[in-house]
């Protein structure tokens, strides 16, 4: 899909093979192997075809990929197909995989429904539930039928993923409310949100309390709860009125650390960790680390990792993408932190009187920023003299503000300039020369082919006034696919020419995405973090850029805006050869 289109294609094939094998009742371990490989490829930052140049041996060295899957990858790369996949598709009717998407219906139930009633579509399932045909089936009673009938209405909501920035702050309000319950000692947001994944399937909330049942009962009565799917002693699953699914788990305060570790995942990370524990004769569950009947850790996460001889691993790294090996070998990265972000490298001053530049400067100052790159994207590029006048006006206004607020924070004059299809910029160089920082981005002609798109971006980066490639993939989550380009070449060029590439944290963009950002950094690129804020309260999207940077394994020195103002300005000058 992104850098690595083949990675995504092969991942999809492996995931489909897993579903079909699952349906057919194949070994659950084989199913898991295909699923885990699919997840691994989805997050793999290097193009698989590049790795495959090293042959089967190189592929076999990847985790979750052994001899068989390496062969299948090579088969796909040379023929565009995987025979096993094609053969399974002949055996498994299209549509039954849809049936398995219904909450509460797994491979066994789907198979039963197909074998006994020939059900292959959601409509057929609905009909069979309504006319009572399913009642004769083994394991089907009144309650189950009612439950599935209800589930059918939830297929879409349950499958939906939400951009993290659409739900993160609401999630924190829920956590605060849980914490304010008298029985609750701590509460935290876990799951993919704590790992700063760009989208989340649900919210996973953990609470510590000695009275689990009371907490779950109070939670399902929160006013934003629309319906309760499940409410047991230690957990509850609900849908909010917003359509968001929320899982609550309640554990004893003693188990806070192991509970956090369990509920933060990722699943693959935890399985790997638990495997290490087994090798040492230990057992990890959400209640602690156990040596026989004796509990040897669990109060804090650091204790859990410590019981395996590992340092604490930051949640954004917990994807089983090499972080456990790095922890074992003492080479975890020193991840960049929010405190180390000295400024925001892109905000859009499109605000009316309400959110003036001065207000913005104040808001930025209260976040502790030393600088703010003000990116105009409107009138600067007017043809001829008019544009130049606009640019000079902007620069003058910013200078005035810097004088009046004593440069706290210092506002940098800048622009995000569109790249024309041929790689020239929408703004002439005389105007760019007026500005302290110039970002460029693709914001038209998204569908150029890979070669043309790559040429276009490289040419734009060659412009000596350009500092940063912004919103590189131009995607919008769930709305616009990323452009196709040879990111390896682009990153190599950026690294060589000393230009930065952006991670725009604006919630619907997150661009670069995590895996591409990791690859960029591996190739020596410096990343520039920004909120992309168009309003005052959007400065907080910097946190999403930062979370993405952490998922990309970035340390402070790989992040442009971990530099203070003086260092930043000398970097900006150096890019322009000054």
Ligand X SMILES: Nc1nc2c(ncn2[C@H]2C[C@H](O)[C@@H](COP(=O)(O)OP(=O)(O)OP(=O)(O)O)O2)c(=O)[nH]1
Partner DNA sequence: GCCGTTTTCGGCCCGACTGTTTTCAGTCG
Per-position x/- string for 195-214, each x denoting binding to DNA as judged by CB under 7 A, each - no binding: -------x-x----------
Q: Counting contacts by CB under 7 A, is residue 103 touching DNA?
A: yes
For residue 350, what are the CA distances in angstroms to 2, 392, 424, 511, 534?
A: 30, 17, 25, 21, 6
Helix ranges restricted to H, 153-300 = 155-159, 164-179, 191-194, 212-220, 256-264, 267-279
Q: Counting contacts by CB under 6 A, is residue 165 touching ligand X?
A: no
Q: Counting contacts by CB under 6 A, is residue 304 touching ligand X?
A: no
Q: Return the residues of window 523-542 that contact Mg ion according to CB under 5 A.
A: none
Q: Counting contacts by CB under 7 A, is residue 149 touching DNA?
A: no
Hey, which residues does 439 pair with through a beta bridge? 416, 468
Q: The tokens of 374 are what?
A: 């003000």
| Given 267, 424, 496, 576, the residue binding ligand X (CB under 6 A) | 267
Q: Counting contacts by CB under 6 A, is residue 201 touching ligand X?
A: yes
Shortest Å, Cβ 204 to ligand X:
4
Q: Which does 224 bind (CB under 5 to 8 A by kind): Mg ion, DNA, ligand X, none?
A: none
For residue 38, the Cα-to-chain-centroid distance in whole angstroms is 16
Q: Counting contacts by CB under 6 A, is residue 486 touching ligand X?
A: no
| Given 196, 263, 369, 507, the residue binding ligand X (CB under 6 A) | 263
Q: Which does 266 bind (CB under 5 to 8 A by kind): Mg ion, DNA, ligand X, none?
A: ligand X
Toward Mg ion, which CB reaches closer, 19 or 202? 202
| Given 30, 149, 186, 476, the residue binding DNA (CB under 7 A) | 30
**Nearest-angstrom CA–CA distance, 563 and 565:** 7
Q: Return the residues of window 245-264 that contact Mg ion according to CB under 5 A.
A: 247
Q: Counting contacts by CB under 6 A, is residue 437 touching ligand X?
A: no
CB 175 within 8 A of CB 187: yes
**How many CB atoms sit inside 10 A of residue 396's CB?**
11
Whose tokens are 């549509």? That residue is 95
The residue range among 42-50, 100-108, 128-136, 257-265 that interacts with ligand X, by the rule CB under 6 A, is: 257-265
Per-position x/- string for 207-246, each x denoting binding to ligand X as judged by CB under 6 A, each - no binding: ----------------------------------------
| Given 104, 306, 314, 498, the residue binding DNA (CB under 7 A) | 104
Going through 316-408 in order, the beta strands assigned E by DSSP cover 343-347, 371-376
| Given 24, 83, 87, 106, the residue binding DNA (CB under 7 A) | 106
| Given 151, 258, 270, 561, the residue binding ligand X (CB under 6 A) | 270
Q: Return the residues of window 189-228 that contact Mg ion according to CB under 5 A.
A: 191-192, 202, 204
| Given 16, 198, 247, 319, the residue binding DNA (CB under 7 A) | 247
CB 443 within 8 A of CB 476: no
For residue 27, the Cα-to-chain-centroid distance in whole angstroms is 31
- Pick the closest to residue 206 from 145, 148, 264, 156 (CA basis): 264
The helix (run of H) or strand (run of E) holding residue 246 is strand 245-251
**Nearest-angstrom CA–CA distance, 507 and 551:** 16
Q: Counting contacts by CB under 6 A, is residue 548 touching ligand X?
A: no
Q: Give the total of residues touching Mg ion (CB under 5 A).
A: 5
For residue 20, the Cα-to-chain-centroid distance in whole angstroms is 27
Q: Give the total of residues touching ligand X (CB under 6 A).
A: 14
Dihedral angle, C-alpha 456, 458, 459, 460, nearest 10 °: 90
Helix ranges restricted to H, 419-486 = 429-434, 450-462
Residue 92 has, within 13 A of its CA and on its CB side, a CA count of 26
| Given 6, 12, 32, 160, the residue binding DNA (CB under 7 A) | 32
The residue range among 99-107, 405-413, 522-530, 547-555 that interacts with DNA, by the rule CB under 7 A, is: 99-107
**Nearest-angstrom CA–CA distance, 499 and 469:** 8
Q: Counting contacts by CB under 7 A, is residue 340 touching DNA?
A: no
| Given 54, 118, 132, 141, the residue binding DNA (CB under 7 A) | 141
Per-position x/- string for 220-239, each x denoting binding to DNA as judged by CB under 7 A, each - no binding: ----------xxxxxx-x--
The residue range among 33-41, 399-407, 418-426, 569-577 that interacts with DNA, by the rule CB under 7 A, is: 33-41
Hey, which residues does 375 pair with through a beta bridge? 414
Shortest Å, Cβ 202 to Mg ion:
4
Q: Counting contacts by CB under 6 A, is residue 261 touching ligand X?
A: no
Shortest Å, Cβ 140 to DNA:
6
Q: Counting contacts by CB under 6 A, is residue 204 touching ligand X?
A: yes
Shortest Å, Cβ 54 to DNA:
15
Q: Counting contacts by CB under 7 A, is residue 54 touching DNA?
A: no
What's the CA angle centered on 546, arms 561 and 317, to 5 degrees? 130
Q: How far apart are the first and last CA of the chain?
A: 38
Toward DNA, which CB reaches closer, 62 or 380? 62
- With both helix axes pointing from N to C terminus, report the angle between 28-43 and 5-24 in degrees, rounded to the nearest 10: 160
Going through 358-481 in order, the beta strands assigned E by DSSP cover 371-376, 410-418, 437-441, 468-469
Q: Counting contacts by CB under 7 A, is residue 159 touching DNA?
A: no
**435: phi then psi, degrees, rounded to nearest 5:** -100, 150
Shortest Å, Cβ 322 to DNA:
12
Instruction: Label residues 313-339 b or e (16+ Cβ within 10 Å = b).
Output: bbbbbbbbbebbebbeeeebbebbeee
Q: The tokens of 250 are what?
A: 């309640």
Shortest Å, Cβ 205 to ligand X:
10
Note the residues at the interface with ligand X (CB under 6 A): 191-192, 197, 200-202, 204, 262-267, 270
Note the residues at the interface with DNA (CB under 7 A): 27, 29-30, 32-34, 37, 60, 62-70, 84, 102-110, 138-145, 147, 191, 202, 204, 230-235, 237, 245, 247, 263, 267, 270-271, 274-275, 277-279, 283-287
Note the residues at the interface with Mg ion (CB under 5 A): 191-192, 202, 204, 247
């Amino acid at each position: 899909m992104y850098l690595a289109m083949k990675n995504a294609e092969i991942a999809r094939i492996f995931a489909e093979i897993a579903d079909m094998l699952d349906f057919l009742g194949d070994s659950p371990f084989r199913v898991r192997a295909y699923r885990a490989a699919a997840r691994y490829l989805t997050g793999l930052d290097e193009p698989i075809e590049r790795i495959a140049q090293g042959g089967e041996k190189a592929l076999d060295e990847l985790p979750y990929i052994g001899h068989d899957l390496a062969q299948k990858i090579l088969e796909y790369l040379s023929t565009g197909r995987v025979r096993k996949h094609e053969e399974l598709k002949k055996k498994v009717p299209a549509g039954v995989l849809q049936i398995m998407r219904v909450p509460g219906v797994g491979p066994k139930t789907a198979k039963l429904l197909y074998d006994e009633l020939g059900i292959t579509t959601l409509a057929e399932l609905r009909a069979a539930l309504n006319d009572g045909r399913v009642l004769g089936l083994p394991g089907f009673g009144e309650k189950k039928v009612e439950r599935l009938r209800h589930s059918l209405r939830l297929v879409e909501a349950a499958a939906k993923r939400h951009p993290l920035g659409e739900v993160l702050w609401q999630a924190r309000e829920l956590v605060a409310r849980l914490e304010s319950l008298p029985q609750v000692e701590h509460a935290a947001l876990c799951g993919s949100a704590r790992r700063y994944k760009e989208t989340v399937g649900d919210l996973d909330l953990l609470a510590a309390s000695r009275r689990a049942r009371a907490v779950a009962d109070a939670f399902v009565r929160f006013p934003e709860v629309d319906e309760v799917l499940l409410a047991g002693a230690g957990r509850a699953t609900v849908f909010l009125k917003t359509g968001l699914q929320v899982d609550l788990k309640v554990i004893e305060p003693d188990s806070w650390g192991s509970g956090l570790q369990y509920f933060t995942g990722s699943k693959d990370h935890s399985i790997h960790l638990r495997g290490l524990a087994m090798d040492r004769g230990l057992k990890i569950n959400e209640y602690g680390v156990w040596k026989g009947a004796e509990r040897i850790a669990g109060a804090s996460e650091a204790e859990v990792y410590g019981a395996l001889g590992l340092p604490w691993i930051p949640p954004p790294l917990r994807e089983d993408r090499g972080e456990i090996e790095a922890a074992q070998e003492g080479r975890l990265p020193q991840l960049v932190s929010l405190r180390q972000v000295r400024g925001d490298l892109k905000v859009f001053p499109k605000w009316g009187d309400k959110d003036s530049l001065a207000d913005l400067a104040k808001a930025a100052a209260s976040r502790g920023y030393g600088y703010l790159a003000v990116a105009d994207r409107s009138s600067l590029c007017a043809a001829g003299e008019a544009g130049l006048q606009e640019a000079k006006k902007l620069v003058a206004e910013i200078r005035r503000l810097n004088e009046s607020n004593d440069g706290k924070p210092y506002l940098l004059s800048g622009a995000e300039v569109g790249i024309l299809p041929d790689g020239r910029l929408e703004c002439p160089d005389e105007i760019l020369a007026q500005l302290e920082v110039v970002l460029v981005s693709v914001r038209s002609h998204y569908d150029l082919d890979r070669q043309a798109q790559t040429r276009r971006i490289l040419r734009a980066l060659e412009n000596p006034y350009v500092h940063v490639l912004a919103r590189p993939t131009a995607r919008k989550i769930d709305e616009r696919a990323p452009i196709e380009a040879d990111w390896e070449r682009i990153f190599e060029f950026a690294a060589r020419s000393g230009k930065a590439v952006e991670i725009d944290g604006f919630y619907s963009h997150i661009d670069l995405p995590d895996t591409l950002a990791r690859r960029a950094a591996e190739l020596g690129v410096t990343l520039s973090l920004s909120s992309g804020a168009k309003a005052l309260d959007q400065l907080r999207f910097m946190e999403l850029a930062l979370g993405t940077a952490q998922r990309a394994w970035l340390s402070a020195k790989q992040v442009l805006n971990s530099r203070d103002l003086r260092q930043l300005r000398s970097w900006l000058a150096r890019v322009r050869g000054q």
